[in-house]
Amino acid sequence: MPQPPPAEQEFDPLKLLHTVPPEELWSRYFETPRAGEEVRRIVQRLHRDKQHAHVIAALRAALLAGQPEPWMYEVLALSMEIQGAPKKEVERILLSAIDFNALDVGNLLGSAAYLVRLGAPAQALKLYRQVSQLEPSRPEPYLLGSKLADKLKDVDAIVWSCTGVLTYYWFDDYQKQHQDAIGLLRSWQLNLEKGGETERVHELELALKQALWRDLQIRLVWSGEADLDLIVHEPLGTVCSFADRYTQSGGALLHEGAGPNQANCYEEYVCAYAAAGYYVVHVEHVSGKIVGNRARLEVTRYAGREHEQKDVIPIVFDERVKKYRISLHQGRRTEKTPVFTPLPQSTSARKRQTQQTLAQLRHEMVQSKPWLNQLRQNPVGAVGYTPQVATVSSGVNLTAQATISADRRYVRIGLQPTLTQVTDVFTFSFAGSR
């Protein structure tokens, strides 16, 4: 007597891979709705066993059966590429994934990178521009898109990507990235000028000029071995400091310095696209001695614009924390945006991260020991500084001393050469000076 067919719930397609054609097998499998976890498990098994033809058939059957999931398109495109399918078909699958999940930024970036691998830069560039519309402050689309735009000779995309880098990229290597963006725009200005496209040249010049606008820049400068912290409270409720270098208000702490090396005795804050309002700046004396017990704040508003303003605020440290309120009436930002910080890959980035961690721990230690703060604010005794003017020798000096014998027949000469060199000079400013 023939055996009845197995019940549908007992149907195991993995046991029939070598006996049933892929299309027939997976069409039969998806006649019944399947759980997403079950489908993922089976596809992973097929992919691990290099059964790419079955992977393609299974995913196509799932899509035809009305059981799509975002991951299916990417896996289907990968399997089709392995099987040697035409690039246009693979590209069409990826574009279908974009339509399926057009608001998923991670999916868009992954699909764009995949399109670049497949040799479809124009389609990838479209995806990067779509990501920048969804998340304007995200730096990756501008960085990756600039290379594609230059390759495709798309001037509009070049302007979009380079101005995006100049506005939103403020991480450790920002100087190099900004120089590259400016250089790319300048080179295309020359190309357009040679081609007689004067109007486009002016458009690029105006776009570059506007991209270099900086609504607010603050620089703290001092001399000595001290460690000072610059902390900026922004109008939208965010705080930029060594602990949170990048804020949702667009602020960035570009440099966190400490003495005794004079070249490192500064801290710098920038908010290129800033909100209007009052910025409360805290300058905190963490440790060490400051030359002259003074520092200065250099504040620049609307940098690069016709009404640029520059002010210098002298700071006298009669207390540990000094507070200043800086007004910005013509800010261009109206709301917060997400912060996208890259992972520290380079050695210099990891070193900077370590320095920030140590600075934060030192700050927490000072805050946890009130007697340290009391000692700073009310030191025992007093120290007075009396300047003394003296001559400092530098170079080669030779001292000679002659001794004549009693019978005046011999003269002995003692020679003492000295080599001196001024190796370092610390400068400081008085209150009210620049």
pLDDT in tens, the chain (434 residues): 445 544 445 678 888 888 889 899 999 898 888 887 888 888 888 888 888 889 899 888 888 888 877 667 777 887 888 888 888 888 788 777 666 656 678 777 877 776 787 677 887 898 899 889 988 989 999 999 999 999 999 999 999 999 999 999 999 899 999 999 999 999 999 999 999 999 999 999 999 999 999 999 999 999 999 999 999 999 999 999 998 999 999 999 999 998 889 999 999 999 999 999 999 999 999 999 999 899 999 999 999 999 999 999 999 999 999 999 999 999 999 999 988 876 544 445 545 555 555 555 555 555 555 545 554 445 445 455 566 777 777 777 788 888 888 788 888 888 888 777 766 565 555 444 44
Asked if residue 374 is part of any domain, the answer here is no
Q: Which of 179, 212, 245 is the last residue of a domain?
A: 212
Token reading at 47: 């992919």
Closest CA to 282 of 246, 244, 326: 326
Closest CA to 46 of 23, 70, 13: 13
219 and 245 in a single domain? The answer is yes
Q: How many domains does the chain have?
A: 2
Closest CA to 120 of 89, 157, 156: 89
What CATH number corresponds to the domain at position 244?
A: 2.60.60
Cβ distance 231 to 281 under 8 Å? yes
Taking the alpha carbons at both ends of the chain, their separation in whole angstroms is 105
- Provide the 10 A C-beta neighbour count for residue 226: 20
Asked if residue 218 is part of any domain, the answer here is yes
Residue 331, SS3?
A: coil
Contacts of residue 428, defined as CB under 8 A and 6 or more positions apart, other chains included, come to: 223, 224, 291, 292, 294
Which domain covers residue 150, as residue numbers?
Answer: 139-212
262 and 339 in a single domain? The answer is yes
223 and 284 in a single domain? The answer is yes
223 and 307 in a single domain? The answer is yes
CA-based radius of gyration for the chain: 34
Cβ distance 253 to 282 under 8 Å? no
d(CA 300, CA 218): 6
294 and 276 in a single domain? The answer is yes
221 and 235 in a single domain? The answer is yes
359 and 219 in a single domain? The answer is yes
